[in-house]
Amino acid sequence: MKQMMMAAAMVLAGGAAMADPAEGVWKTAPGDSGGYLHVAISACGAALCGTIKEAIAADGANTGDYEHLGKKMLWDMKANGGGKYSGGKIWAPDTDKTYKSKMTLNGNTLSVRGFVGVSAFGRSQDWTRIQ
């Protein structure tokens, strides 16, 4: 019994050590209204996905009635090594459009780029880790 419990603890500890560095909760850049989102990034199969966890108004108030809470905003993002991710898609709530996406992680800053066609045509945001 002790051996089984130790084996289970080792498996759980090993899984936690394998978490991707981009996993966590991220604050997006403010939109035109000054509000921003908290996006929870986690493993989603062999890739990473990001879900809208909270919406914060320009005055800092949590807007609990935001219509897109729980919606997937980022998906199919695959790690390429060296803090770079590609192959994903991102949904932009302000335009209600989906774009190809890539990300670069540098410490507690996640540079997220959505683009159409080649990556030269698109827009970027720097997200800040909050958790």
Domains recognised in the chain with CATH numbers = 22-129 (2.40.128.520)
Tokens at 15, concatenated: 């899984």
Return the SS3 of 46.
coil
Tokens at 124, concatenated: 């970027």
| pLDDT reported for residue 14 | 41
Q: Which residues of the chain have pLDDT under 50?
A: 1-17
| pLDDT reported for residue 111 | 98
| pLDDT reported for residue 121 | 82
C-alpha to C-alpha distances, 40 to 2, 45, 46, 85, nearest whole angstrom:
36, 15, 17, 16
